[in-house]
Amino acid sequence: MDQQPLRKDLYPHTEPYDSGFLKVSGVHTIYYEQSGNPHGHPVVFLHGGPGAGTSPGNRRFFDPEFFRIVLFDQRGAGRSTPHACLEENTTWDLVADIEKLRQHLGIPEWQVFGGSWGSTLAIAYSQTHPDKVTGIVLRGIFLLRKKELDWFYEGGAAAIFPDAWEPFRDFIPEDERNCFIAAYSKRLTSSDADVQAEAAKRWTMWEMMTAHLIQNHENIKRGEDDKFSLAFARIENHYFVNKGFLPSDSHLLDNVDKIRHIKAFIVQGRYDVCCPMMSAWDLHKAWPEAEFKVVPDAGHSANEVGVAAELVSANEKLKNMLRK
Mean pLDDT of 88-94: 98
Q: pLDDT tens digit string along 226-237?
A: 999 999 999 999
pLDDT at 7: 83
Mean pLDDT of 80-85: 98
253 contacts 286 by C-beta, under 8 angstroms:
yes
What distance in Å separates the CA atoms of residue 126 and residue 107, rounded to the nearest whole number?
A: 15
DSSP secondary structure letter of residue 81 = B
User: Could you confirm whether 39 is annotated as catalytic?
Assistant: no
Residue 100 pLDDT greater than 60, yes or no: yes
Amino acid letter at 198? Answer: E
Residue 239 pLDDT greater than 70, yes or no: yes
pLDDT at 323: 82
User: Could you confirm whether 41 is annotated as catalytic?
Assistant: no
User: Could you confirm whether 97 is annotated as catalytic?
Assistant: no
242 contacts 268 by C-beta, under 8 angstroms:
no
pLDDT at 3: 57
Which of 272, 279, 301, 313 is flagged as catalytic?
Answer: 272
What distance in Å separates the CA atoms of residue 36 and residue 14, rounded to the nearest whole number?
A: 7
Which of 47, 212, 284, 300 is flagged as catalytic?
Answer: 300
Residue 5 pLDDT greater than 80, yes or no: no
Which of 116, 229, 279, 313 is flagged as catalytic?
Answer: 116
Domains in the chain (CATH in brackets) are 18-144+245-323 (3.40.50.1820), 147-244 (no CATH)
Amino acid letter at 140? Answer: G
What mean pLDDT is reported for the chain?
96
